[in-house]
Amino acid sequence: MSMQGPKTRELFRKAKQYIPHGVNSNFRYWGDEDTVVVQRGKGTYIWDMDGKRYIDYRLAFGPIILGHAYPAVNQRVKEAMDNGTLFAWTTPLEISVAERICRMTGVDKVRLTNTGSEATFHALRIARAYTGREKFIKFEGQYHGMVDYFMFGTASSSEKHLGARTDPRTAAMSLGIPEGIGDYVLNLPFNDFEILEETLEKQGEQIAAIFVEPILGNAAGILPKPGFLEKIRELCDKYGIVLVFDEVKTGFRIANGGAQEYFGIRADLVTFAKSLGNGFPIAAIGGREEVMMTIQPGKMAHGGTYSGNVVGVAAADATLEILENEPVIETISARGTALMEGIDEILTEQGIPHVVTGVPSMLSILLGMEDEPHEFRDYIKGDGDLYEAIALELIARGVMPDSDGREPWFLCYALSEDDVAYTLDAFNEAVKAAKR
């Protein structure tokens, strides 16, 4: 059963002629028969080249917080771009967006970038410059972008790549990454208080930063154990380490103030992208005054030709205004809670061991296990094949989560109660079909 109708298939063949594997990001390649070519999106729906409609729960891996082609956002972008798109000077829209981000998330200062990866690699540079140290800690199964330094022990790692649980040194996740870079990266299991404390007892004075996705947005939405983020905060203070919340997925999605608000913990630096611009390319690094002011012309570099470009910034200005003035997160959370409860009920009725985890605006389903997962190695133990089979049956029925269970289901403001009901009916049928 291919996911491609005749027009989609024909265009994908052409895509492969000119674009390696027919996609502009490896994560989008689902194989020659199952990679989709999209014609358009509107609200919570997308349509492929054959006119087949899907309720979209991938939402481009998270950015679409309001809905595809959201009128108020597109309108602000159209108006803004008629007055020029790029000046290499500060514009009033940039100031407006920076002010909104500071107000909504509690950071003191913010610099804009275009992608999550740009935000995270600049955050790493700031942390190193601020502390004068070079090593950093990240956690297994966390993804911080297409940056050589971060591509160790990501959610794309197999158990073989990860190595021993107690060994923070892991293999690079891609060809082309110098092995020596691994000397700077310590990969620890998430939610393990003891290993974190022991590591810092030995090397705390050498660590510039601890990077953490507060919820594992690239590994099935695994949640922090109560007290774990607090422990990281406490240890960062003790050893003079910069705490970086990578909120590329959680920012402006789990709360207007992101994970800092949701968990009540302040980081020193925070990276945002995705939901900040409802699908337009914009990202940000925010943080405490003292840490952000490490950025110094002539001393510590941050820059980019397109940083603060009018198109991305106009989109962010409109998106943040809507987030502040309408019950976006509340509405999404209500829909997500209904989905989580419905999915839990269906899987229980059908006798499939499972855990529904994450939060309502980015939820995940783990199969073949009954205990809440606490780290990436728990995810690996689940039944990814059954998950994929159910996802493909869902897609055939016009409901599109990612087929990879590591990727949460993302919800947008445009998702209606009827869409949720449709999804649950389809889920029930998909589970039965996958079991057969």
In the complex, least distance from residue 112 CB atom to ligand PMP, rounded to whole angstroms: 13
Please identify, using beta-carbon distances, which residue of 364 and 423 lies nearer to ligand PMP.
Answer: 364
Q: Using CB atoms, what's the residue nearest to ligand PMP?
A: 116
Position 44 contacts ligand PMP (CB under 6 A): no
Per-position x/- string for 99-128, each x denoting binding to ligand PMP as judged by CB under 6 A, each - no binding: ----------------xxx--x--------
Position 252 contacts ligand PMP (CB under 6 A): no
Maximum Cα interatomic distance, the chain, rounded to a whole number of Å:
64
Across the beta sheet with 38-42, the strand order is: 38-42, 45-48, 53-56, 399-400
CA quadruple 145, 151, 154, 158: dihedral sign: positive
Considering CB under 6 A, how many residues would be counted as binding ligand PMP?
A: 16
In the complex, least distance from residue 302 CB atom to ligand PMP, rounded to whole angstroms: 16
Backbone angles phi and psi of 375, in degrees to 5: -155, 170
| From 54, 57, 130, 143, active-site residue | 143
Please identify, using beta-carbon distances, which residue of 249 and 374 lies nearer to ligand PMP.
Answer: 249
* Cβ proximity of 402 and 323 under 8 Å: no
Task: Report the distance separating Cα 45 and Cα 56, nearest Å.
Answer: 5
Distances (CA, A) of 225 to 13, 24, 195: 46, 36, 14
* DSSP β-ladder status, 242-246 and 207-212: parallel
Element (H, E) at 227: none
In the complex, least distance from residue 274 CB atom to ligand PMP, rounded to whole angstroms: 7
* Cβ proximity of 276 and 252 under 8 Å: yes
In the complex, least distance from residue 215 CB atom to ligand PMP, rounded to whole angstroms: 9
Per-position x/- string for 50-79, each x denoting binding to ligand PMP as judged by CB under 6 A, each - no binding: -----------x------------------
In the complex, least distance from residue 218 CB atom to ligand PMP, rounded to whole angstroms: 5
Binding segment (CB under 6 A) for ligand PMP, from list 75-83, 144-152, 220-228, 396-404: 144-152
* DSSP β-ladder status, 354-359 and 362-367: antiparallel
In the complex, least distance from residue 240 CB atom to ligand PMP, rounded to whole angstroms: 24
* Cβ proximity of 280 and 311 under 8 Å: yes
In the complex, least distance from residue 420 CB atom to ligand PMP, rounded to whole angstroms: 25
Per-position x/- string for 260-279, each x denoting binding to ligand PMP as judged by CB under 6 A, each - no binding: -------------x------
* Cβ proximity of 244 and 269 under 8 Å: yes
Binding segment (CB under 6 A) for ligand PMP, from list 122-130, 141-149, 236-244, 365-373: 141-149
Residues 6+ apart with CB under 8 A from 11: 37, 49
| From 70, 274, 378, 379, active-site residue | 274
Please identify, using beta-carbon distances, which residue of 61 and 427 lies nearer to ligand PMP.
Answer: 61
Is 274 catalytic? The answer is yes
Binding segment (CB under 6 A) for ligand PMP, from list 8-16, 174-182, 190-198, 242-250: 242-250
Overall residue count recorded for the chain in this entry? 436
Amino acid at 257: G
Distances (CA, A) of 239 to 19, 205, 206, 294, 431: 47, 6, 9, 19, 49
Alpha helical stretches, state H, 106-174: 116-131, 159-162
Amino acid at 154: T
Q: Which of 94, 246, 268, 317 binds ligand PMP (CB under 6 A)?
A: 246
| From 48, 246, 317, 419, active-site residue | 246
Alpha helical stretches, state H, 106-257: 116-131, 159-162, 193-203, 228-239
Q: Which of 43, 67, 168, 217 binds ligand PMP (CB under 6 A)?
A: 217
Q: Which of 131, 218, 278, 423 binds ligand PMP (CB under 6 A)?
A: 218
Please identify, using beta-carbon distances, which residue of 280 and 427 lies nearer to ligand PMP.
Answer: 280
Nearest CA among 210, 263, 255, 265 for reference residue 235: 210
DSSP 380-436: HTS-HHHHHHHHHHHHHTTEE--SSTTSPEE--TT--HHHHHHHHHHHHHHHHHHH-
Coil, strand or helix at 192: coil
Per-position x/- string for 146-185, each x denoting binding to ligand PMP as judged by CB under 6 A, each - no binding: x---------------------------------------
Position 286 contacts ligand PMP (CB under 6 A): no
In the complex, least distance from residue 5 CB atom to ligand PMP, rounded to whole angstroms: 28
Both tokens assigned to 402: 């990612």
Please identify, using beta-carbon distances, which residue of 116 and 286 lies nearer to ligand PMP.
Answer: 116
Residues forming the active site: 143, 246, 274
Contact positions vs ligand PMP (CB under 6 A): 61, 115-117, 120, 143-146, 213, 217-218, 246, 248-249, 273
